[in-house]
A = this chain, B = another copy of it.
């Protein structure tokens, strides 16, 4: 489907009208729609170029094992960056117009901290996009994948120091007798924020492997944060309003460039999104969470990803045998996915602590262990990912069905997050 040119013209017309009206958030929405339409048009045009560059991979969960272009998230990323760069001036339009009206350039009045946040945010996101495309092309090592996001977060933390520098947290009521009402975390707070950024950039990449899942979960998270932002805009006080407007400026274009990507990436996929998408999506969330001062609320929207990460830990830290790929397996006969398994009969497949963890997981019914009938030794276990867990709990199912289930899980966890944030929190604060 090609978007007709007149749609662009209408949007451009609307954009110019609103530029005159000078309402930054409306301009942001319209620019986002334009970026989304452009992405929708650009993705098909980049497909042959990507395949020519051999940036492509096989879809393992299909009968025909088609070769699909990889790293298409880069196209969304480019539209996103262009959109953000073009949007920079708008929140400051009032100031510029004042300047133009003859009055002298007023350094003191200009909201420098807002401007710095904007630029540092874009810088962190572009850095991760850059790392993402390098990872897609070169397949970086784990060390490099952890080092770079940490460094890409530095400008963000610098801006945080410069514009707020608040490193205290409010202690939950039950703990106040021990710690007092407020704790000054100091440098620890910056380490915490750096870890939030590293977690966000990798979390989406780890919870992946079936058509539409990476983009789908990102859109659900983004929409949840947007709803939370609007909640503050409608009820909040000035500093909160400012922080959440900032968040909207980053997230509305993000959703707009992600929807066309989901269009092409949903089952049956025509393109793969690549690490580039996962990294830049994760960093976008980290940027709004850190600079919007709601990193704890942000993490609430990552419940499935946090669970998936914790669940994966025994394999990631090699306590239990970890095969190179942990994607669900594919049964060609009935076109269904089933849980992939790790072979526990290999030498050194389970360490001492690994055995304890396997026992605990078995007690919690989080794993499906296969035992040898004679020796009663463990033969194999499902790989520790949320996808495989669902497949052992609810049985083999089609890829499309599993993708819907995962998106549903993400939506339900967002509902849970809102409940915790706005209901449960009253009990402890």
Contact = CB atoms under 8 A, between A and B. Distances in A.
Interface of A: 46, 49-50, 52-55, 74, 78, 81-82, 85-86, 88-89, 92, 96, 99, 105, 107-108, 110, 112-113, 115-116, 119-120, 122-123, 126-127, 129-130, 133-134, 137-139, 148, 151-152, 154-155, 158-159, 161-163, 165
Given A88-B155, A107-B163, 20 more contacts: A46-B138, A50-B138, A52-B138, A53-B54, A53-B139, A82-B148, A85-B152, A88-B154, A92-B162, A110-B162, A112-B113, A115-B116, A115-B162, A116-B116, A119-B155, A119-B158, A119-B159, A122-B155, A123-B126, A126-B127
Contacts of A52: 138
Contacts of A50: 138
A117 to B, nearest CB: 10
11 contacts: A49-B138, A54-B54, A85-B154, A85-B155, A86-B151, A92-B162, A107-B113, A112-B113, A115-B158, A116-B119, A119-B158
A113 to B, nearest CB: 8
A149 B229 CA distance: 33
Contacts of A163: 107
Contacts of A53: 54, 137-139
Given A116-B112, A129-B130, A99 B152 contact: no
Nearest to A81: B127
Q: Which 6 A-B pairs rank lowest in CB-CB distance, beginning with the nearest?
A: A112-B112, A123-B123, A130-B130, A49-B138, A85-B154, A126-B126
A43 to B, nearest CB: 13
A19 B66 CA distance: 55
Nearest to A77: B130
Contacts of A130: 81, 126, 129-130, 133
A91 to B, nearest CB: 11
Given A105-B165, A123-B123, A130-B129, A137 B82 contact: no
Contacts of A110: 162
Nearest to A120: B119
Given A88-B158, A137-B53, A139-B49, A151 B115 contact: no
A107 B111 CA distance: 11
A99 B161 CA distance: 10
A89 B130 CA distance: 22
Contacts of A129: 130
Contacts of A85: 127, 151-152, 154-155
Contact of A165 (B99, B123, B154): B99
A373 to B, nearest CB: 44
Contacts of A92: 162
Contacts of A99: 165
B123 A119 contact: yes
